[in-house]
Amino acid sequence: MARSGPTSPDRGAARRPPGWLGPGVLAAAVVAWEGAARAGWLVPFYFPAPSRLADTLRELLVVGFPQGVGMGTHIGVTLGRIAQGYALAIALAIPAGLLIGWVPALDRLALPVVTFCRSVATLSLLPLAIAWFGVGELSKVLLIAYACFWVVLANVVAGVKYVDPLLVRAARSLDTGPAGIFLRVALPAALPRAFAGMRVALGVGFMTIVGVEMVGTIQGLGALILEARTFFRSDVTLVGMAVIGLCGLALSTLLERLERLLLPWHRGLESVRR
Amino acid sequence: MARIEVQGVAKQYAEGEGGLALDGIDLAIQDNEFVTLVGRSGCGKTTLLNVIAGLVAPSAGEVRVDGRPVTGPGGGKGMVFQQHALFPWLTALGNIEFGCKSRGVPAGERRAIAAQLIELVGLRGSEAKYPIELSGGMQQRVAIARALALDPEILLMDEPFGALDELTRIEMQDELLRVWSSRKKTVVFVTHSIWEALVLSDRVVVLGGRPGRIRLDLPIDVARPRERTDPRLTGLYGEIWAYLS
C-alpha cells in the first residue's frame, strides 16, 4: 500500500544472506578438508579425505558393501522401512489426535500416557520388539512407527486443542453444529500443526532407522554403517551418514513443497518477508 | 413488541463483587433500529453483546428476540467480530458461503447469495483471495458479507472497525450505513469511539461502572447522511462524554 511506501523496502531483505553462501561455505570446507588430508595433518582412519570418500561411494555403488549389496539396495530398503513405519504412524496418529484434541476428557487421560511414551527412547524397546515380533521386518517397521507416532499425535492434539476460540464462536454464530465445527473448523485449523508434526516425525524416523537396522539385517543404511564398524571402514560409515542425511533432506523438502501446495493459505512469516 | 428485549440481565464471571460484569440491564431495541453500545474498556459492553448473541449465558435475567428467549448463537443473529475472525483456510468466497453450507443451502442458491453480497460490500475481484492476502478493511467487508449471507434479522457487531486506521474506518462506516439502508436490519454495534456511535446510530446507549449498568440512553435525532462536522453531533458528543468521564 502506498501509505507504507517510505518504510516498505524490507530491511529484512538486506540482511538475508545471498543464495550462494550455504553451498559456498560447504565447498570451502570440503576443499580445506581435502587440503588438510593431503598435507598429512589428518589421520586417514578418523578423517578420510573427500577424494577417498568419493572412491568409497563408487565402491558402494558398483561392488556394494558387503559385496553384492549395492548402495541402491541399502537406500531402497531403508526408505521402504521408513515409509511403512511413517505411514502407519500417520494413519493412526491423525484420527487419534483429532479425537483426543476434541474431547477434553480424553485429552486429560491421554496427556500423561503421551508424555510417558514419548520419553521412552525407541531403541530401548528394541529387545522387547524382537521378543514380541521377531528380528524380521515387522519389528523394524513397528519401532519406526512407534517413534513417529507420538510426535505426530502430540502435534495434532495441540492443533485441535488450540483452535482459535473466536473461529469457533464465528462458526456457531453461522448456524454451525458441533459436527460442522469439528470437520470444518477444528480439522482445517489443525492442519498446519499436523504438517509440522509430520515434518519432525520424518526426521525422527531417519534418526531411528540406524539403530533399528543394527539387528537382523545386512540391508539398509543403518546396517551398512554397523557393518562398516565391524570392518574398521570409517570411510563407509561417513558415506552412509551422508546418504542418510541427503535422503532426509530430500524428503523433508518434498514434504515442505507438499505442504505449500496443500495449505496455500498458511504462509505465516514468509508472506511478511517477501 | 420490540425486536430485542433485554430484561434484568446480569453477568457474574467470578465470585465476589469484582466478578460482576453486568447488573440490572434493561434494554428494548426496535425492529430496524441501529443501536450503539458505548463505554470504557471493561464496562461490559462486549459481554452484553455476547449475551444478546447467545454466546454467553446471563447469570440473571433474560434476552428475548421476537418474544422468544435466546438460548444460543445463530438463528437469525449474525455476528461481526473485532478481529475479522475469518477462516484463514477459506477464500473470501468460501468464508461468505460458510453459513449457507452449514444450513444446507443448495450450491446454486449459495453462489447467487454470495455473488450478490460480493457486489453489495464491494469485494468484486477479491473472491478468490485468502484472508491473509486482504487488507484490514477488505477483511471486515468479507466478515460483514459472511454475517449477511444467512439474511439475519439482527446484526451484532463487536467493535468491527476498532483495528482499522482512521481513514479506512470512516470509509467502512459509510459502507456499513449504505449496506444497512439497502438491507434493513436491527443492528447492535459496540464501539468505544463516541464519534463512530454518533455517525452511525439511531440511539447511543452508554454503559459504565463496575458492574456495568446503563448510564445513558440517548436518541440521535439527526437525519442521515450525517456530516461528521455537524454542530448537533458535537453537542451530543459533549453530553455522552459527560457520562463517560
pLDDT at B183: 86
Q: What is residue B84's DSSP assignment?
A: -
Instruction: Assess A184–B contact: CB distance below 8 Å, yes or no.
Output: yes
pLDDT tens digits for B103-120? 999 999 999 999 999 998
Kindly tell me the number of DSSP H helices and DSSP E strands found in chain B: 7, 10
Report the pLDDT value the prediction gives residue A6, as an integer from 0 to 100.
46
Mean pLDDT over B118-143 rounds to: 93
Q: How many contacts (CB atoms, under 8 Å) link A and B?
A: 72
Q: What is the pLDDT of residue A40?
A: 87
pLDDT for A45: 84
Q: What would the grid cell of residue A89 be?
A: 504412524
H/E run at residue B78: strand B77-80
Residues 6+ apart with CB under 8 A from B53: A173, B70, B73, B77, B79, B156
Q: What ipTM was assigned to the predicted interfaces of this complex?
A: 0.91
| C-alpha–C-alpha distance, residues A192 and B224, integer Å | 47
Whether omega for the bond prior to residue B211 falls within 30 degrees of 0, making it cis, is: yes
Mean pLDDT, each 10-residue run in order, chain A (274 residues): 44 69 91 90 86 90 86 93 96 96 94 89 88 91 95 95 94 95 95 94 91 87 89 90 91 91 76 49
> Other C-beta atoms within 10 Å of A77: how many?
23
* pLDDT at residue A64, rounded to an integer: 86
Residue with cell 561411494: A57
Task: Report CB contact under 8 Å: B55, A1.
Answer: no
Contacts of A167 in chain B (CB under 8 A): 85, 87
The three-state secondary structure class of B33 is: coil
3-state secondary structure B187-215: EEEEECCHHHHHHHCCEEEEEECCCEEEE
Do the strands B213-219 and B203-208 form a parallel or antiparallel pair, or are they unpaired?
Answer: antiparallel
In this structure, are residues B4 and B186 in contact, taking their beta carbons and an 8 Å threshold? yes
Residue A270 confidence (pLDDT)? 55
User: Between chains, do B85 and A169 touch, taking CB under 8 Å as contact?
Assistant: yes
Q: Is A88 in CB contact (< 8 Å) with chain B?
A: no
Q: Which domains does chain B have, with CATH numbers?
A: 4-76+152-244 (3.40.50.300), 87-151 (no CATH)
Interface test with B, best of A1, A174, A262 (most B CBs within 10 A): A174
Please give the domain boundaries of chain A with CATH numbers for all domains.
66-265 (1.10.3720.10)
Mean pLDDT of chain B: 92
- Which residues in chain B touch residue A1, judged by CB atoms under 8 angstroms apart? 135
Nearest alpha carbon to residue B240 among B211, B209, B205: B205
Residue with cell 543394527: A214
Interface residue A263 vs chain B (CB under 8 A): yes
Residue A267: which of B87, B99, B132 has the nearest Cβ? B132
CA B115 to CA B110: how far, in whole Å? 9
From the list B75, B89, B150, which residue is nearest A188 (CB)?
Answer: B89
Q: What letter represents residue A18's amino acid? A: P
Q: How confident is the model at residue B10 (pLDDT cuts 50, 70, 90)?
A: very high
Higher pLDDT, B189 or A263: B189
pLDDT tens digits, one per residue of B37-95? 999 888 899 999 999 999 999 999 999 999 999 999 988 999 999 888 999 999 999 99
